[in-house]
Structure 1
Amino acid sequence: MPEGTDLLPPLPNDWAQTAPIVGVDGARGGWLAAVLLPDGEADLLLFGRFADLVTELPDDAVIAVDMPIGLPDRSGPKGRAPERLVRPLLGPRRSSVFSIPSRNAVYSTDYREGCALARQTSDPSRAFARQAFHIFPKIREIDVVLQARPTLCERIIEVHPELAFATLNAGKPMLYAKRKRIGGMHPGLDERRILLERAGLPIRLVESIPRGAEQDDALDALACLAVAARFRMGLARPYPDPPEHDSHGLPIAIWA
């Protein structure tokens, strides 16, 4: 059995009382945050910059973000340890976990140059997909914020929505990709909505689509919110456990 396949504790019925908690997913308009505040107010908010999100949300909010935190100087086979550990848990959704290259490659703003740097700093030598390159600016945003304020790592954690959904589903990965269409239907979106509603999120929130984001962005942000609740309650676990750290002291782990 792959490491980490044991079931994690379910969310208690009163998990929403763990506010303030935030789940964050990257969106075309910036950063989509699912926010639950102490007064019970819940909303989906769009921020242009990650630094603005951190500044404008409560100082004690746990923020679970779907974006890599902690960058290696050299990348090993199949990426960082979190990626290697999480993929076996996701079955048909394993391809949603990208291998993150070295910090030098991530900080390159030219695709070809970045691929060359990735090859020079990986073992075995490899480049990266253009799809991964498109998220590098957001990875850099988080990296800059956390290097400037490393104590934020105590409450800002890396998560992955597909692992979050699998955790809400008693350890079973989602059957369908989020964007898969079958006969005019979107079964991947439907199965994720059902899980979030069963977890106790308001239907109006689960069905919201903020301007500057897509429905799947909103569902991912809400799944990240559930991990923030688990972290606040001490129920979440990191992959790997304990987390590794990069050369700047930032943790390298995906939480669920």
Structure 2
Amino acid sequence: MTARVVGVDGCPAGWIAVSIASDGPLAPEVRVHARFADLVAETGDAVLAVDMPIGLPDFIGPEGRGPERPVRQKLGPRQSSVFSVPSRSAVMTEDYRVSCAVASASSEPPRMVAKQCFHLFPKIREIDALMTPALEARIFEVHPELAFWRLNGDAAMTLPKKVKSRPNPAGLDERRALLVRHGFAADDLVRPPRGAAADDLLDAAANALIARRLLKGEAKSFPAEPARDARGLRIAIWA
């Protein structure tokens, strides 16, 4: 049986996972999992490329969490898609106002929390509860726009996926066409499963191609020499 790798993105119903063959024709399989722990258990020893922050510093300095600035530098007009993730204590807070206060007290210069980032906190906590340094051999943080940048010859996509929080058909088509050039069939990319949106499917598919690069040792980390948080977790985005 051909080995598989998996690209993962958060979605309204939990986590959308696009599994592809580790080499040769992609033969994609798409599933939605309610819990990240179930996804990890059901994928055996497959490499997972996950669009969600992994590794949370106790304090955020002027350079940010670590991967964010070098990734933004690659993305040009798409750099706003890279959120500023606050300290671990802020992420563990479930009230937005309290989270902003904690984030401000644990950063220099003081920073609040963007609402879009705050809405990711439950999923960040879900991964954080499971992650260990040992799992880093198969679970890697990625970012879809950095994945598309890599797949596009190290050039950022020209169009946004969303405009005013609504899907941008032209931006989705641009990314879909790029994925087709990398081996997906167009029909694989137009019908997301229940509980996931069109952009979730495209992002997970792009992440799956980065998972192939990870398995082959071709992916690079941003930054090149990642720091680790107090739990020993690597803080890096890969592409």
Per the alignment, do residues 118 and 180 of structure 1 end up closer, same or farther by CA in structure 2, a change over 3 Å counting? closer
Please, which of 129, 135, 138 is the counterpart of residue 144 of structure 1?
Answer: 129
Determine whether 1:154 maps to 2:140. no
Q: Secondary structure at the match of 1:128?
A: coil
Q: Note if contact 2:20-2:28 (Cα within 8 Å) is conserved in structure 1.
A: yes
Find the aligned partners of 1:19 and 1:123 in 2 and give their Cα distance. 45
Give CA-to-partner distance per residue, 1:208-250, whole Å, 9 cap, x none: 3110011000000001001100001111000011221111010
Per the alignment, do residues 179 and 172 of structure 1 end up closer, same or farther by CA in structure 2, a change over 3 Å counting? same
Moved more, 201-210 or 96-105: 201-210
TM-score, with structure 2 as normaliser: 0.93
In the other structure, the counterpart of 1:250 is 233
Find the aligned partners of 1:128 and 1:96 in 2 and give their Cα distance. 15
In the other structure, the counterpart of 1:6 is none
Per the alignment, do residues 189 and 102 of structure 1 end up closer, same or farther by CA in structure 2, a change over 3 Å counting? same
In the other structure, the counterpart of 2:28 is 42
Q: Residue type matched to 1:132 in 2?
A: C
Find the aligned partners of 1:51 and 1:130 in 2 and give their Cα distance. 26
Per the alignment, do residues 178 and 19 of structure 1 end up closer, same or farther by CA in structure 2, a change over 3 Å counting? farther
Find the aligned partners of 1:239 and 1:193 in 2 and give their Cα distance. 25
Give CA-to-partner distance per residue, 1:184-228, whole Å, 9 cap, x none: 971100110010000011222222311001100000000100110
Superposed displacement of residue 40, structure 1 = 6.2
Determine whether 1:209 maps to 2:195. no
Find the aligned partners of 2:115 and 2:205 in 1 and give their Cα distance. 27
Find the aligned partners of 1:27 and 1:78 in 2 and give their Cα distance. 29
In the other structure, the counterpart of 2:8 is 24
TM-score, with structure 1 as normaliser: 0.87
In the other structure, the counterpart of 1:105 is 90
Q: Residue type matched to 1:19 in 2?
A: A
Determine whether 1:172 maps to 2:158. no
Find the aligned partners of 1:190 and 1:40 in 2 and give their Cα distance. 20
Moved more, 77-86 or 35-44: 35-44
Q: Note if contact 2:74-2:156 (Cα within 8 Å) is conserved in structure 1.
A: yes
Moved over 3 A (4+): 37-41
Give CA-to-partner distance per residue, 1:44-93, whole Å, 9 cap, x none: 10000100100111x22000000000000001125211001100100100
Q: Note if contact 2:71-2:222 (Cα within 8 Å) is conserved in structure 1.
A: yes
Q: Secondary structure at the match of 1:81?
A: coil
Q: Note if contact 2:229-2:235 (Cα within 8 Å) is conserved in structure 1.
A: yes
Find the aligned partners of 1:226 and 1:36 in 2 and give their Cα distance. 8
Q: Matched residue pairs, number?
A: 235
Q: Residue type matched to 1:66 in 2?
A: D
Find the aligned partners of 2:31 and 2:18 in 1 and give their Cα distance. 7
Q: Secondary structure at the match of 2:131?
A: helix
In the other structure, the counterpart of 2:103 is 118
The percent of aligned pairs where both chains have the same amino acid is: 53
